[in-house]
Amino acid sequence: MASFQSPLVEYDAFLFDLDGTLLDTADDLGAALNKVLRAQNIDEVTSDVYRPAASNGAAALLEAGFKDKWVEQPQTQLIKQLIDEYAKNIATHTTCFAGVEPLLIALDQKKIKWGIMTNKPGFLTDPLVAAIPALKNAQVIISGDTLKEAKPSPLPLLHCAKLMGIKPNRCLYIGDAQRDIQAGKAAGMHTASALWGYVPSLNEVLSWEADFNWQSPIDGFNHI
């Protein structure tokens, strides 16, 4: 399947998803998952199991760990346990993906606005972003519970654009999940898939028809 690419253009603002786009949070999420699994006498899982689920929330992680036993578990209780464990060690192993810091520095130097729109709840987003110095200049940080709707709704992205004083069609939204591309398109923004993140197969990503499919954050230099 051929990659769908729009002509290269420059933007007034970049907006980023967080987990799987700016930050590699999988190992901290995986550590919390494995602690919950151990407590339930379930075998721990390796990164090849938890990484694909890392962008999809606590329930998806637990389902990846418990497998077919997940349906019979006290799901609400275990989701809370996982989130509690994760919150205790939210940035122990988390780092920016390679290429993220140079891109953010370049955006700052060129005075191009940038921000974060994640479905992660605010009580986790805020301490995580605060723990990563490279993210200190984000002009907006909107979480999954900031508004009444989260991605794939376009409302949080439109809210970001309004706060930054930028027209949506002059924004580029970058993410590693289909809901990111859906939300960006619905908001009237251009979109880029973060192929370095927790993406499914390349063919599936290409079926989302993002305007751009970036192999690395460094691809963002083509738009600034």
Active site residues: 17
Name residues whose C-beta falls within 8 Å of residue 84's C-beta, 6 or more positions apart in sequence.
Answer: none
| Gap between the Cα atoms of 101 and 98, Å rounded | 7
What is the three-class DSSP state of 44?
Answer: coil
Max intra-chain CA distance, the chain? 53
For 14, half-sphere exposure in the C-beta direction (CA atoms, 13 angstrom radius) is: 31
What is the three-class DSSP state of 122?
Answer: helix
CB 28 within 8 A of CB 90: yes
Residue 46 CB neighbours (<10 A): 9
